[in-house]
Amino acid sequence: MTICVFDAYGTLFDVKGAARLAAQEPGNEALAQVWPRLASDWRQKQLQYTWLRAVAGRHCDFWQVTQDGLDWALEAAGLDDPVLRENLLALYWRLPAFPEVPHMLARLAEKGHPTAILSNGSPAMLSAAVSSAGIGDVLHATLSVEEVGIFKPASAVYDMVNARFGGTPADVLFVSSNGWDAAGGAGYGFRTVWVNRAGDPLDRLYATPTKILTDLTSIPELA
């Protein structure tokens, strides 16, 4: 039986959702003018800080790099607003799931596939996101890098899947919206799907995804 494992942020949960929702609130007209760029900068810095900390051996939890990335993005956008900062951070704890996620996970559950999240996110962040999206009843596990103290794509992170479920990497279908993460999983030995929602070029790395999709709808057919 295929074990279906999903990255969380950008794959199940829309990381642009916090900035988009805040931009729609009264009084946030300045954010409304720049929110797409701010959301992009926030995400890019968040990821860059995970890689740099992993290489340097200076691990911290994902909530810290999330705050650090936002602070960089706010300064780059010229937005010095502590109230806005706190609102954006609060919204990050309840990011919206992509529309196809609940039905897709329910279909996997109906077919009897074990399902899990494997994420850089801290346990508290992931618990909040799963609860907010209402998908806890169709997930068998939520695995956080905090168990091993290093961010993806370190092999120790991917090791957690078979440590939890048994089997071998070949039994796993790993799904991520991050091209580098899909490549990392492929290099580890997982069968991987890159959910390329933005139509980005393929990353030039040591491995390539097994399949490239534009959303998660057809994942049950691949499991």
Q: What is the mean pLDDT of each run of 10 residues along the chain (223 residues)?
A: 97 97 96 98 98 98 98 98 98 97 97 98 98 96 98 98 98 98 98 97 97 98 96
Of 42, 59, 92, which one is at a domain's C-terminal end? 92
Of 68, 92, 116, which one is at a domain's C-terminal end? 92
What is the residue range of 42's domain?
A: 17-92
Tell me the two tokens of residue 1: 């039986």
Cβ–Cβ under 8 Å, residues 128 and 96: no
Residues 115, 82: one domain?
no
Q: Which residues pair with 211 in a beta bridge?
A: 193
Residues 57, 125: one domain?
no
For the question of residue 81 being annotated catalytic, the response is no
Catalytic residue among 7, 14, 61, 181: 7
Residues 108, 85: one domain?
no
Q: How far is CA 190 from the centre of its chain?
A: 17
CA distance 189 to 170: 6
**Does pTM top 0.85 for this prediction?**
yes
What burial class does residue 74 get, using C-beta atoms within 10 Å of its C-beta: 0-12 exposed, 13-18 middle, 19+ buried? Answer: buried
Cβ–Cβ under 8 Å, residues 62 and 121: yes
Domain CATH code at residue 56: 1.10.150.240
Of 41, 75, 92, which one is at a domain's C-terminal end? 92
Domain CATH code at residue 191: 3.40.50.1000
Residues 42, 118: one domain?
no
pLDDT in the model for residue 201: 98
Tokens 């949960």 belong to residue: 13
* Strand, helix or coil for residue 173: strand
